[in-house]
Amino acid sequence: MTLIADYKLNDNAANSNVLDSVLNTNATLRQLVDDAAINTADHSVAGKIDNALTMTENYVDIGDISSRGSVKSIAAWIKLSGSAGPRVIFATVKVDGNTTLFVSSSEVLTVGSSWTGTTVFYVDNAVTTAVPDDNKYHFVGMTNTVGLSPTTAVLSSGNGAVDFVGDLDNVMLFDSVLSATQMRSLHRDGAVPFFRSRYSGNSAFRLPRRRFSPNSSF
């Protein structure tokens, strides 16, 4: 089981860099209307674990991740802000609704038609699809037995009408189907102590257990 990308979204600087802590490389925060790079400092907010990025007409451009393998599991902390319409968490390109993991207009976690395998959804500590729109952070996760192998990927982007509106924190991509026990561990600990990174040689890839931010609303 491999963690192939980990965006903690703690970025808060006068630049557009969004750090992937697995490869220590940067994605780019962009505004949706014209794809221009924008400063993370203008979108940094208190997160579930340290900071988060608030997403309103902006997205994280991950770029080419084809060399990392297929994406079969995704986990994140999200806070919905009462916006109507679908809200995209992950997609391969910013206008492709078929590859998305998103929260529907009825607050249901779902995926687009390109996810052809068997999909299981997790919200907080349960196997379910219902995501509360209550201005609080909630853990969401999904696994898919086939997965996607995207050339490019984005967080929080749709076609303008379905981009994510709210706050995103600690988005993690895996190349394997996580078990319910592993999803519960991510929900409980906010870290991934049991995963090995394909980029860490023979050493186990371990993140320290993090304390939740005192101003989070869990």
Q: Is residue 76 part of a domain?
A: yes
* Token output for 52: 């988060």
Rounded average pLDDT over 138-160? 87
Task: Determine the pLDDT at residue 85.
Answer: 72
Q: Is residue 38 part of a domain?
A: yes
Q: Is residue 214 part of a domain?
A: no
Strands 51-55 and 25-31: unpaired
Strand ranges (DSSP E) for the chain?
Answer: 3-7, 17-20, 25-31, 44-46, 51-55, 58-64, 71-80, 87-91, 101-103, 109-111, 119-123, 138-148, 152-155, 166-174
User: Tens of pLDDT along 155-200?
Assistant: 987 555 567 888 999 999 999 999 999 999 999 986 554 444 444 4
* Token output for 163: 């981009």
Reported confidence tier of residue 70, pLDDT bands at 50, 70, 90: very high
Task: Determine the pLDDT at residue 217.
Answer: 37
Task: Determine the pLDDT at residue 194.
Answer: 47
Residue 30 belongs to domain spanning? 3-189
Task: Determine the pLDDT at residue 215.
Answer: 42
- End-to-end, the C-alpha distance of the chain in Å comes to 28
Q: Is residue 212 part of a domain?
A: no
Query: With pLDDT > 70 as the criterion, what percentage of the chain qualifies?
Result: 83
| pTM for the predicted model, two decimal places | 0.86
Q: Is residue 93 part of a domain?
A: yes
Q: Is residue 176 part of a domain?
A: yes
**CATH no. for residue 102?**
2.60.120.200
Q: Is residue 209 part of a domain?
A: no
Task: Determine the pLDDT at residue 158.
Answer: 58
Q: Is residue 201 part of a domain?
A: no
User: Tens of pLDDT along 107-135?
Assistant: 999 999 999 999 999 999 899 999 999 99
> Is the pLDDT score of 213 beyond 50?
no
Count of domains forming the chain: 1
User: Tens of pLDDT along 4-54?
Assistant: 999 999 999 999 999 999 988 899 999 988 899 999 999 999 999 999 999
DSSP state of 99: G
